[in-house]
Amino acid sequence: MTHAFVKMNGLGNDFVVVTPEGTSFAPSAAEVRAIADRARGIGCDQLIGLGPSHGADAAIRIWNADGGEVERCGNAERCVAWLLMQASGRDRVSIEAGGRILSARRAGDGAVSVDMGAPGLNWRDIPLAWEMDTREIDLHDGPDLRDAGCVSMGNPHVVFFVPNLLAVPVAEVGPAVEHHWLFPERVNVGFAQIVARDRIRLRVWERGAGLTKACGTGACAALVAAHRKGLTDRAATLELDGGELKIEWRKSDDHVLMTGPTAVEFTGRLPAFEPGGRSEGGRRVRPA
């Protein structure tokens, strides 16, 4: 049995969104890596499985390009919300992701606003290896970057505040921090430069995916971490390599709102996997 998919992106952070037909979608890690492979597969940062939910319009499962399943992906949640609204003709939908029910609404031509819920700010929420104030993280034996804070958006983030983002070797520092012993479940690594009280320049090394053009939960985490340090107001524009996101950390209910564009690239059908990497129907995808 093959499955239909939609290739989408949010600010260049790209996804293969799979809509199962009659059967559940539960790929192996090797199959995920094969689909995500940009040379031999379809190519994506994350693979998204869309399915039914008892408490929302749909539920999603998320796999990073390395084959590991993860809890959240803000840009993917925006893209899935857009698909659901297009299919239903409605302007608001709900999505179950990472144990949370998220609400989303249209926010202009192709844009979607998602209520990402309240951030986790306790050291156990991240989680960290031991108790500490998540507003001020020092890796001690890690890369020579000191000004950092940690936030959970349903997935773990550490954000380093730097004076010049262009001077940071993200592709070198990111993997070292992702696998640092302080983060027992690994971590998404953000590097943020404060441009103004309402503007942040951000690059993110994503856990299991590497350096992407944009990270929605990373943008939310950066705004929360920056405001906790008194560096920004509660709302800001986040400048990422792929474009801009509007992030607001509401004081009224502690929820973080993320607003940004979505785009459809193409549609197709996943091949049926067979032993040894053969496939039937659609583009050839060989397990890695």
Active site residues: 73, 215
- Rounded Cα gap, residues 280 and 20, in angstroms: 17
Residue type, position 48, single letter: I
**DSSP state string for 75-103:** HHHHHHHHHHHHHH--SEEEEEETTEEEE
Instruction: Quote the tokens at residue 216.
Output: 């929605």
For residue 57, what is the DSSP state?
Answer: S
Kindly tell me the number of DSSP H helices and DSSP E strands found in the chain. Answer: 4, 19
Contact 282, 2 (CB under 8 A): yes
Neighbours of 100 (CB within 10 A): 17
DSSP conformation class of 137: B
